[in-house]
Structures are given as C-alpha cells and as structure tokens.
Amino acid sequence: MRVPLSWLREYVDFDLSVDELVEAISLHSQEVDGVHGLGVLDGEVVVGEVVEFGPHPNADRLFVAKVDLGGREVQIVAGAPNPYPGARVPVVLPGSVMADGTKLRKAKLRGLESNGMMMSERELGISNDHDGILLLDESHKTGRPVADYFPVGETVLELDVNPNRPDLWGMIGVARELAAILRTDFRIPELSFETGGLPTDEYGLRVEAEDLCPRYDLRRVSNLVPGGRAPLEMRRRIFAAGMRSINAIVDISNFTMLETGQPNHVFDASQVRGGIVVRRAREGEAMTLLDGTTRKLDPEMLIIADEERGLVIAGVMGAGDAEVGEETSEVLIEVATFAGRSIFETSARLGLRTEASGRNERGLDPNMVPFARDRVASLLARHAGGKIAPDTLSHYPEPVRDWEVPLRIERAELLLGVPVEKDEAARRLESLGCEVRSEDGELSVTVPTFRRDLRREVDLIEEVGRLVGLDRVPEELPKTSVPGGLTPTQKKVRTLRRLLADLGLAEAITYPFGPDRWRTDLGLDSGHEPPKLANPLSEQAREMRSTLLPGLLDAAVRNEAFGVEGGALFEVGRVFEAHPPPEGLRETAIHFRLTGEVNRLGPDVEPDAASLMGIEETPKVGGVLAGTIRPANWNASERRAGFFEAKGIVERLVPGASFVPEDRPFLHPGRSAAVRVGDVLAGWVGELHPETAERFDLSSPPAVFELELAFCEPDPTPRFRPFTNVPTVSRDLAVVVESWVPAGDMLATVEALGSPLLVGARVFDVYEGAQVPEGQKSVALRFAFRGEETLTDEAVNAELDRISRRLRESFSAEVRGA
Amino acid sequence: MARLAREAARLANTSKFAEQVRQAAEAGRHVDVSKFAEQARQAAEAGRHVDQTQVVAEASRLAEQAQTAVKAANSLAELERLRVEYLGRSSQLTELRRLVRELPVEARPQVGGAANKAAQNMEGAFETRWAELTVAEREERLRSEAVDVTLPGVPYPKGSLHPSMRVVDEVVDFFVGLGYRVAEGPEVETDYLNFTALNIPPGHPARTMQDTFFLDEGLVLRTQTSPIQIRTMLSQEPPVYIVSPGKTYRRDSDPTHTPMFHQIEGLAVDRGITLAHLKGTLAAMARHVFGEDVKVRLRPSYFQFTEPSVELDVSCFVCGGADPKCKVCKGAGWLEMLGAGMVDPTVLSEVGYDPEEFTGFAFGMGPDRMAMVKYGISDLRLFFEGDLRFLRQF
Ligand SMILES: [Zn+2]
C-alpha cells in the first residue's frame, strides 16, 4: 500500500520526520518497505505568468520565455512548445532539489540564460505526463507559491500490509492506525450530498450466487458532465498512490477505493440492459476485458452481468461493455462484498491481479459498503456535476454485527511477559475502534466489524502488546530443566562432515531435483520411476534424485569448465524413492496426507504412515574426486583421483567394510566395488565409467563413492586392548600368487588364522613383470608380531611359517626367495 | 673457598710458566728434549747434574708452543693431530716425563712438577679449543642446513564446510547448550502437516504465496520446517524444547531466491512461556552468532501459526548503526533476522495440548541469509552450485 503523506495528513495530524514516522509504523504496526519521493523535495515553486514565448534563436527544439513571477521577470529556456503569453505555469527556481536528488541551477542553454524551469505534470509528481508544461487555470495567482494550491512534492511510504489487515489497504484505515500509535485523533470525511437524480430502482438487482456475495449495493448517479477530468489534486493523489488517472468518473471510483480500502465499480448505466445479475459464470462463457484480453470463465467464477451478458469478473476486472467512457452521463455505482477465497482463486486461475482483486481477496467488511458507495456518489456530484438517486438497491441478507471478546489481563501479562495496565489496555483497544467495558480483572471488548482479524482473546493481546510497545518486553530465558543434546546419529553426521572436510573434501549442497538425463546418463533402471514434481520450475528440475551422484558430477563439470584444477566434493543429503501405495490403499493414503487421519482398514488393521506417504527418503553421503585432488608441491608430487583415493575415504567412513567387485552401469567395471558391512550393501565406490564421464562432459573419469549414512561409523566407540611393554618385531614375506588372487582375501585369510602374536599385517608392495612368471604376481606383506614377553627368533619364525603355509594352502602362494 | 684457592694457585703457576716461557722465547733458545735426555744420561754417567732450570724452562716452552698451536687450530681434525703431537706417546713432553726418572732424586719433584704443569696446561688448552671448535662446527653445519622458510609447507589437505551448515551448526550448538533437542523430519511432507495443521487450511492465500512444489496427490516438498514442530508435538507431551534445521523448498528462482534453501526453526512449549522468553532466547542466540555487542528489537508481524507474531531485528554487527553508507545494513542500522511469535492456541489445540495450561514460542530463521550477512556473500545462488571457488573460502 502506497501512502502519500500529504494525503494522510488530511485525516490525522502528526509532527514527525519521515524517519520517525517510518520507525513508529514499523515498530508498532506494519513493515515499511520503502520511502519514495515525487516532485520537488525542497525549494521554491511559484505561479508564473508567461509574458513572451518564442523559439530559441540557437536551437531548433528549444524555446525561450519571459515569465512574470509576481513583479519580477525572468528568462527561462524551455523544451516544450505549449506555453503562450498569458498562460499561468508552475516555475521551479534555481537551488531547488528534485525528487531524484538533482539540484536545479541557473544554466546557460545554447547561449541563453535560464533562471528556473517551467514544469510538466511529471516533474511535479502529478502524473507521468511529460508532453508539455502544466498550464494552471486563472484561480492560481501569479507570484504565489504553487504549494498554496497543491503540494509540489510528495513523500510516499510503501507499507507491506500483513494479509490479516485489509483495513490498512485504505488511507482512512492507515490514518486510524497511525492515530492509535501516536495516541491522537483522526477524522473521516463527512458525507453530505443532495439527492435528486433518477431513481436506482429503475434497474433490477438479482444476486443468484448468495454464497459468494454477502453484500451487493447499487446507487445511480445521473446528469453527469461527460468527458470531464478529475481535479488536479485528486489526480495527483491517485498518481502518488500508484494508479493512473483516466477520467473524472474512473478517478473518483479509484480515489474512493484508495481512501476507504473498499473497491467499487462504476457502470455506464445506459449500457446496462435490464438490471444487474450477480451469478456464477456459465460453462464456456468468455469475456473480453478492459485490458483487451479475452478470458474463458468457468462456473467456479463469480461475475456481474446484466440480463444479457457478463459485465465484470466480480471483484477483479470489468469487460469493455458497460464501462464508463467519454460519453457517459449516467452511472450505476456498485459497492459489494465478495467471498475472499473465490476472488483469490479466480484471480489466481486467470493470472489476473488488480488493485481491486488484491483487496477483495482478503474478504472485506460488508459494513464498509455504505460509506464507500455514498462517497463515490458525493464526489461524482461535486466534481462531475452528477445528481444522486434518492434510493439505493442493497442485497445484504445476513448483516454482520460486531462481536464481543473477553480479555483477561493476567492472560495478556502471561503471553507478553510484561505487566499490563488494565486502563491502558482498554484505551489502546478503544483507539483501534473497539468498545471496551471493564469487569473485574477482565475487559469485555466489542470489536468493530472492519477488524475481522480480532476474534479471540489472543488477537486482542497482540494489539495491546504492539501498541504498548514491544520494546517494553524484557529479555528473559525460560527456566528449562530438560535434557537436550544431539542424538548419536546427529553427532555421527557432524563427525563425518568434519572428517571429510579434514580429509580435504569441500562440502557441497546440490538440488535434489534434476532432469531425467540424470538417470538415463547414469544408465539407471528406467523401470523404477523416481518421485516427480508435478509443477517443476523447468523440465530440467522435475525428477527427485535417487542418488547424490549426478548433482555432484554436474558440480564437477562446472568446476572443470571454470578451470578449477580438480578437487574433491562431498554432500550429505537425502535421496528419494517412490513406493506408491497399492491401488486399494490410494484413497486412504490421500485422505491421510490431506487430513492427518489414518482410516482403519478393518477392526484391527491400521496401515502404517510410512506406506501411506509413498516416498521413502534415505540419508546418504556421496563424494566425487576429480582430476588433481592434491596439486604438486615443490617437495611433493601431485595426487590424482583414482579408485584407491576414494576407497581410502570409504575405509575411514566405514571401518571394517568389505569391498566386493560388482557391476554398476555408471562405474568402471574393473575399478569399482560394492561396499558391504557384513552381508549388507552399504554403498559403492569406484572410478566413473569412461562413457558416463563423456555423457556428463567430464574430460576424465573422477573417482566417486556413495554410502548410506546408517552404515557410516566415522568415529567408532573405542575398545581398549591391553598390551605389554615388549618390542614389536616386524617381518616381511613376499609370495608369488596367480594374478587374480585378491590381496584382500590373502590378508583376511591371515587374519583368520587367529595368531596370538600377530598385531598387524599390510600389503606394502605388489609387483607384476619380468621378475615373476607370466600370469603371476608378487605380493609383499609386512607383519608385526608382539607377545606377552620379548619374542625369540624361533617363535617369530614359527608364526611366519604358519602364515606362509596357510597362504600356500589357500592360494598356492610360493614364498619368494625361499 | 678451597676451590677459589686452587684456582688462584693455578693462575699463579700459569703466569709463572708464562713468564719463563716468555724469557726463553726472548732469548731465542731452543732446546731439544732429546738433547736433555742425552745430557742427562751423560751427566748421570759422569755423576754430574743436569741443569734443572733449563729442563723446567723447556717444559714450559713446550706448553707455550702447544697453546699457540691449539689456538690456531681450525678444525677438530687438526686439533686431534696436535693432541697426538703434543700429548701423544711419542710427544716431547712424554719424552721429558720419561727423563724425570733419570734425574737425581732431589731434582725430580721440580722437573716432574713442571712437566705435569705443562701437560695440564696443554690439556686445558685442548679442552677449551675443542669446545670452541665443536660449537663452531655445529653452527657451521646448521648454517649450511638452512632452508628457504618462505617455501610452502607440506600441503596437508584442507577441505571446507558449507557456509550455511556452518551457521546451522553454530545455531544448533547454541540451542543444544540451552537444553534443546534437535528434531528432524522428511523433506517430502504431507499437505496436512505442511499447511492445515499449521493453521493454513485449504484455499488459504498463504498456500500459494509460498509457491509450493507438489508431488503425488497430497504430498509436497515442505515449504518450511514447521511440520517438524507438529510432528514433535504430536509425538510427545510438553515440555517441548526443540530446534529443527533442514532444507525447505519454494517455487522461486532469482538472485535472492533459490528453489531450495535452509531453515532453522525452534519451538519451546511449557508452562508459563512468555514473549519475554522468546526475546531473551533469540537475543542470546544473536549474540552467540554475531557477537556479544549486538542488540535486538522486536517488530510486530504476521504469521499464520503464531499470535502475537513478531520479527526480530539485530543491530548491524558491522557498523553498529553508525554508518549511513554501511553496505551490510544499507544504513538502516538493523538487520532483519527472523520471524517468531507465541504459538497460536489453534496450533496447540490441533496437537492436543491445552492452550490454557501451556504456552510456547516458535521462531524461524534462514541460515543461508545469515551466512550471506555474516560472510558478506552477495548471491544466494552460489550456495547450491558446488563451485569450489566458492566452497573453498569457508
Ligand atoms: Zn551497518
């Protein structure tokens, strides 16, 4: 809501700077989104009378004028041709500051001095008209400040009105609110007019859709002067409030809406056939609107029609028929209340939002109707020569009356956390238009119908709190005595993220929805449909991810494209899988999703909530290691991403995991593995399949992994193993085995021996080549032994023998050099 | 005292020898020890006496000569060679000492004493020089081992945590310290929990204002983390103290809106919870995240599931409100930080709590925006592109 301050002052007096006003409103009522300036912010604008006017001798498009400013004549260079000797014009003098901040100076234009500027409507903030200089009528006295007639500058506050306060969509409502904040009075324009026009009841009024239209009023105004313009000050205010001036009748209609917050509509009465019908649109009915578009309507939409055709989409926008035009001399004023939700849905479905629909969709107070109706009528009489009908037609079968809400002071004190004075609370509520009766410890508050948001005690407490001032609320802490903390799973995720960051990976967060290409490029089973968004922002963001991989790969592509030299990313996030409820349960599922209620299927059968949700979320951690993951240093060579880099990370996250070769369409068949914990699949790790890398536009395949969070143990609970203070003995054993023998199996077999002395075993070299027979490889193992006492050579050798024997039995391993 | 006396005696002897040696040197005399030995033998044979004074002088001359050589030695190796030369088995001093045995008994103490003194002197000189040279050689070695300390160290990997998550962790830690639990919930949420249970019935304008992503009928991507509050309250009795961080989704995309963003909401329901508790809790949180000096203020606002509703501003932690050109607060001096309010009685009733017995406050904030303010990031879209040029800065 745009609030021009000069207009606001018509209803309420305040002596605050703009900053103070903004603060008062934002700390006690609504957010102020912006402050705009129009016209001349500071300086002198006077009425001038043109004495001479002619072309500039040195410029084709410029003119020069001599202007009398009231006993003083100045020369002014102008860009518009419309002034003439004798014309009255607004002249802004050098030194004045315009709304955009520019300061006007004495200037020389093509050799001629210009001592000021004759102003257009736009420069004065009256309209967007910049075609010529504004010509003032004879009532403006030469030499007088223009501000004596209308403001030459305007400050406009942009209020971000909360949806529960439709009363603030009108200047009067804002004035009432400000008066309440400042504890002062406000005034409403008085309605005084004479009647004498043609009667309204020559037209019919029939409300067919009563449920969508609680109130509908009509009043006729006849004998209007056709084609008139609204007074300058009214046009200026409409413009400052963000609307366009059209003609006197439309301007008066809009002015009243801005003033009261109550939209209205004015029909050219001569075009209305028979009478007004308020009904739902018919199937297939269409309407060509004022904006030139033709809209197909449906029976959910409310329209205003005459006996023959639709005239207005109710509360939203009118059609060309029966609209006010230059020839209009007689009108029917419609002021009505519509069901807010219906207006909202119609406007949303048509994609059509107007000043009127924005107000109507909040659901307005039917009791605002008479004032707005007669305000339009009286302004038409005053400014367009109209004669007001003696009668009105009104459909208002169920009048809304004010209501009473009790307010307990101790309840207010409990919620607000501050002492509340009963009298002050009462005065504050009265300033909002309530009537307050005091009963011991309690107030009985009668709420005016324009405050439909004040229904409950708690609503009144909010009003008291904000008007008294939230700055009065002290800072306290609740006296909690409940145990808090992270759950073990939450702690685990923390540790895991920290660990991955310490291992050199950067934490990324990517979107969980993407294109179907994500799935097809990975070669994932297309038979299993992922959950899909019904209304994605684009087709590129429709499918919910079933793996973190594609988002991370897209990030890797981006990094490569911008020349980032490799790098490692990880993400902790959820993946989604569709498990549609079986056909027989679908209705139950939808009912559950919409109402939270689970319908029993039989006396003891209750479906579980998870199956009714139909989408399963699994938290995972994924990573991508691309290109150079550690650049070369002057004393260290670079590390490039590969299977074992990724595997090393997985080993830190899932201690005790086993790695089993297993095909995945998007992974290198020889450089990938399933990660298992016991017999359960925990995830996978590997180098990306070169073809997949190509499809994603990656220059070389990165190493990738993905694990279910549930299987990760980045910081397993330690279990102490006692040890003795005797030296550890290290022995190497090199064996030759067939190339296919997995080294991991060899280690596992050694471990399975259960040697009481063996405390460590690792592979420190693998060799294939000239030194070993074709098809075989040498695997060098290093063992660490420790016993209860210092080990003898014999004891160690015996254990080493046992190991090599077992390796020979299991893998035909020949000890090298033996 | 005894030590001092010994030291004084040693110095006296040294100067006496030095004097003798000086005189010998001045006279340019040079006597071969072997010559003495020969003289001594002959003297012994002849029953004559060797000139003792001359032998004593020769001993001190040897000591003097050794000391000079030792002082001039420049390496430990050279020093070792000199030790052999002056104190070794075949040195002249050793020869001199052997000679003592051949002297008449009455002459032996004087000559023997002189020889011992000379030996002691030499050894002292060797020790001193040895220590000097050891230090010098070590220093030389250290000098030669010096590196260019401006070369970079071994590149231990450095990863990073996402800026939003840094803020989430910080806020969560604060509330955990106050005794809150961390509650989580699904990102795909039911229409009921995302809207209706939060006092946003079907057809309510707030539903489209939030631009919801829909999935299968009745399912949405949660537009807020508030359904977690409902889930929590449905599953337990008060008191409830929870904080619930998570991803949320709205159909919005421009430089300041991304279709996915983070929220942290909190909920405290107990007997006697007031707006003052809300203000105190959130003020303490703001100080935890933005620094001890920040102030907070409440402004009235409107949310469907709180009444009264407020917004919380934090005083600009960059300029403190003093700089009209401040880029962070744009001169306002205040930063909009979060929305909050007292839980609407309708919501409490919906989950089966008695609003007369229990009151509560709830709040919601955007850690992405907080990170933007805290770290000075201008474009929200950067958060979700996995761009290492961005991520590595945190
Ligand atoms: Zn600032």
Pure H helices in A328-393? 340-350, 355-360, 369-384
A242 pLDDT tier (thresholds 50, 70, 90): very high
Higher pLDDT, A520 or B111: A520
Q: Look at strands B181-182 and B240-249 and give their pairing.
A: parallel
B257 pLDDT tier (thresholds 50, 70, 90): confident
d(CA A616, CA B55): 109
What mean pLDDT do residues B73-94 have?
87
Q: What backbone phi and psi angles, to 5 degrees, belong to A639?
A: -110, 125
pLDDT digit string (tens) for B310-328?
999 999 888 877 788 888 8
pLDDT digit string (tens) for A330-379?
999 999 999 999 999 999 889 999 999 999 998 899 999 999 999 999 99
pLDDT digit string (tens) for B34-60?
565 566 566 555 555 556 777 788 888
B245 pLDDT tier (thresholds 50, 70, 90): very high
Q: Name the 3-class secondary structure at A535.
A: coil
Model pLDDT, residue B2: 43
Q: Which two tokens stand for residue B233?
A: 């309250």
Model pLDDT, residue B14: 47
Q: A355 and A240 share a domain?
A: yes
Is A320 among the domain residues?
Answer: yes
Q: How far is B139 from chain A (nearest CA, A)?
A: 26
Question: Cβ–Cβ of A26/B310 closer than 8 Å?
Answer: no
d(CA A18, CA A396): 42
Q: Which residue of B299, B314, B349, B377 is the best one to mutate when testing the A interface, meaning the one whose CB has the most A CBs within 10 A?
A: B299
Tell me the angle at which helices A232-240 and A248-260 cross, rounded to the nearest 10 degrees: 50
d(CA B239, CA A49): 77
Set of chain B residues whose Cβ sits within 8 Å of the Cβ of A494: 169
Q: A465 and A501 share a domain?
A: no
Asked whether B305 and B349 are in contact (CB, 8 A), the reply is no
B23 pLDDT tier (thresholds 50, 70, 90): low
State yes or no: pLDDT of A713 exceeds 90.
Answer: yes
Q: A646 and A772 share a domain?
A: no
Q: Which two tokens stand for residue A61?
A: 């498009």
CA distances from A328 to A199, A221, A313, A386, A560 (A): 17, 11, 21, 11, 68
B30 pLDDT tier (thresholds 50, 70, 90): very low
Is A51 among the domain residues?
Answer: yes
pLDDT digit string (tens) for A94-111?
999 998 888 999 888 888
* Architecture of the CATH domain B165-391: 2-Layer Sandwich (3.30)
Higher pLDDT, B267 or B112: B267
Q: How close is the Cα of B291 to the center of ligand 1, in Å?
A: 14
Q: How close is the Cα of B334 to the center of ligand 1, in Å?
A: 7
Tell me which residue in A164, A474, A568 faces B276 most closely, judged by beta carbons. Answer: A474
Which domain CATH number covers A312? 3.50.40.10
Question: Cβ–Cβ of B162/A27 closer than 8 Å?
Answer: no
Please give the helix or strand (H or E) that residue A58 lies within, else none: none
Question: Cβ–Cβ of A414/B272 closer than 8 Å?
Answer: yes
Q: How far is B138 from chain A (nearest CA, A)?
A: 26
Set of chain A residues whose Cβ sits within 8 Å of the Cβ of B199: none
The DSSP bridge partners found for residue A191 are: none
Set of chain A residues whose Cβ sits within 8 Å of the Cβ of B181: 484-485, 487
Is the omega angle on the peptide bond into residue B186 within 30 degrees of 0, that is, cis? Answer: no
Is A724 among the domain residues?
Answer: no
State yes or no: pLDDT of B11 exceeds 50.
Answer: no
Set of chain B residues whose Cβ sits within 8 Å of the Cβ of A29: 300
Model pLDDT, residue B49: 55
Model pLDDT, residue A580: 87
Set of chain A residues whose Cβ sits within 8 Å of the Cβ of B259: 511, 537, 541
d(CA B40, CA B27): 23
Model pLDDT, residue A797: 93
Please give the helix or strand (H or E) that residue B83 lies within, else none: helix B76-87
Set of chain B residues whose Cβ sits within 8 Å of the Cβ of A506: 159-160, 388, 391-392
What mean pLDDT do residues A603-614 have?
77
Question: Cβ–Cβ of A480/B239 closer than 8 Å?
Answer: yes
Model pLDDT, residue A599: 73
> Tell me, what's the ipTM?
0.85
Is A480 among the domain residues?
Answer: no
Q: How close is the Cα of B247 to the center of ligand 1, in Å?
A: 29
What mean pLDDT do residues A433-459 have?
94
How would DSSP label each residue in A722-758?
Answer: ---SS--EEEEEEEEEETTS-HHHHHHHHHHT--SSE
A328 pLDDT tier (thresholds 50, 70, 90): very high
Tell me which residue in B205, B309, B386 faces A361 most closely, judged by beta carbons. Answer: B205
Question: Which residue is closest to B360 within chain A, CA to CA?
Answer: A415
Provide the percentage of residues in chain A whose pLDDT is more than 90: 79
Model pLDDT, residue B36: 58
Question: Cβ–Cβ of A535/B197 closer than 8 Å?
Answer: no
Q: How far is A683 from chain B (nearest CA, A)?
A: 22
Q: Look at strands A758-767 and A729-738 and give their pairing.
A: unpaired
Q: Name the 3-class secondary structure at A431.
A: helix
Q: Which two tokens stand for residue A260?
A: 């009261």
Question: Which residue is closest to B244 within chain A, CA to CA?
Answer: A486
**Average pLDDT of chain A to the nearest whole number:** 92
- DSSP character for A210? G
Q: A685 and A627 share a domain?
A: yes
d(CA A664, CA A524): 9
Q: How close is the Cα of B333 to the center of ligand 1, in Å?
A: 5
Set of chain B residues whose Cβ sits within 8 Å of the Cβ of A615: 186, 188, 215-216, 219
Q: Nearest to residue A566, comparing CAs of A635, A501, A624, A499?
A: A624
Question: Which residue is closest to B252 within chain A, CA to CA?
Answer: A537
Q: Nearest to residue A358, comparing CAs of B339, B209, B256?
A: B209
State yes or no: pLDDT of A201 exceeds 50.
Answer: yes
What mean pLDDT do residues B369-390 have?
91
Question: Cβ–Cβ of A470/B387 closer than 8 Å?
Answer: no
Q: A655 and A681 share a domain?
A: yes
What is the amino acid identity at position B73? A
Give me the number of domains chain A comprises: 6
Q: How close is the Cα of B316 to the center of ligand 1, in Å?
A: 5
Question: Cβ–Cβ of B391/A589 closer than 8 Å?
Answer: no
Asked whether B161 and A504 are in contact (CB, 8 A), the reply is no
- B348-353 LR contacts (CB < 8 Å, sep 24+): B348/B233, B348/B269, B350/B197, B350/B199, B350/B230, B351/B197, B351/B230, B351/B233, B351/B234, B352/B233, B352/B234, B353/B233, B353/B238, B353/B269
Question: Cβ–Cβ of B299/A470 closer than 8 Å?
Answer: yes
Question: Cβ–Cβ of B302/A341 closer than 8 Å?
Answer: no
Q: A504 and A629 share a domain?
A: yes
Range of the domain at A74: 40-155
How would DSSP label each residue in B269-329?
Answer: EETT--HHHHHHHHHHHHHHHH-TT--EEEEEEEETTEEEEEEEEEE-TTTTT--TT-TTT
Asked whether A764 and A782 are in contact (CB, 8 A), the reply is yes
Q: Look at strands A506-507 and A567-578 and give their pairing.
A: parallel
Higher pLDDT, B22 or A518: A518
Question: Cβ–Cβ of B392/A568 closer than 8 Å?
Answer: no
Q: How far is A143 from chain B (nearest CA, A)?
A: 39
State yes or no: pLDDT of A116 exceeds 60.
Answer: yes
How would DSSP label each residue in A566-616?
Answer: -EEEEEEEEEEEE-PPPGGGHHHHHHHHHHS----SSSS----HHHHH-EE
Domain extents in chain B: 2-145, 165-391
pLDDT digit string (tens) for A394-432?
999 999 999 999 999 999 999 999 999 999 999 999 999
Q: A768 and A797 share a domain?
A: yes
Q: Which two tokens stand for residue A409?
A: 């002071």
Q: How close is the Cα of B374 to the center of ligand 1, in Å?
A: 12
Model pLDDT, residue B40: 57
A600 pLDDT tier (thresholds 50, 70, 90): low
Question: Cβ–Cβ of A344/B205 closer than 8 Å?
Answer: yes
Q: Which residues contact A340 (CB under 8 A, 6 or more apart)?
A: A360, A361, A362, A363, A364, B205
Q: A371 and A391 share a domain?
A: yes
Question: Cβ–Cβ of A537/B259 closer than 8 Å?
Answer: yes
- Residue given tokens 């044979």 in the structure block: B45
Q: A385 and A461 share a domain?
A: no
Tell me which residue in B160, B197, B281 faces A501 most closely, judged by beta carbons. Answer: B160
d(CA A295, CA A350): 8
Asked whether A198 and A330 are in contact (CB, 8 A), the reply is yes
Model pLDDT, residue A680: 95
CB-count burial class (<10 Å; 0-12, 13-18, 19+) for A413: middle
State yes or no: pLDDT of B206 exceeds 80.
Answer: no
HSE-CB of B295 using CA atoms within 13 angstroms? 9
pLDDT digit string (tens) for A132-186?
999 999 899 999 999 999 999 999 999 999 988 999 999 999 999 999 999 999 9
Model pLDDT, residue B15: 46
Question: Cβ–Cβ of A477/B277 closer than 8 Å?
Answer: yes
Q: A100 and A26 share a domain?
A: no
Q: Which residues contact B258 (CB under 8 A, 6 or more apart)?
A: B252, B368, B380, B381, B383, B384
Q: A562 and A676 share a domain?
A: yes
Question: Which residue is closest to A22 within chain B, CA to CA?
Answer: B332
- Residue given tokens 């860009």 in the structure block: A79
- Pick the range with the lowest mean pLDDT from A656-660, A718-722, A749-753, B318-322: B318-322
d(CA A498, CA A195): 81
d(CA A742, CA A24): 77
Question: Which residue is closest to A498 within chain B, CA to CA?
Answer: B161
Model pLDDT, residue A473: 95
Q: A110 and A237 share a domain?
A: no
Q: How close is the Cα of B318 to the center of ligand 1, in Å?
A: 5
Asked whether A373 and A264 are in contact (CB, 8 A), the reply is yes
CA distances from A633 to A462, B155, B160 (A): 64, 7, 20
Q: How close is the Cα of A2 to the center of ligand 1, in Å?
A: 27
pLDDT digit string (tens) for A42-98?
889 999 999 999 999 988 889 999 999 998 999 999 999 999 999 999 999 999 999
Is A595 among the domain residues?
Answer: no
A471 pLDDT tier (thresholds 50, 70, 90): very high
What's the pTM value of the predicted model, to 2 decimals? 0.82
Q: Which residues contact A25 (CB under 8 A, 6 or more apart)?
A: A32, A157, A159, A177, A178, A181
CA distances from B196 to A433, A545, B187, B209 (A): 32, 28, 17, 15
Asked whether A347 and A247 are in contact (CB, 8 A), the reply is no
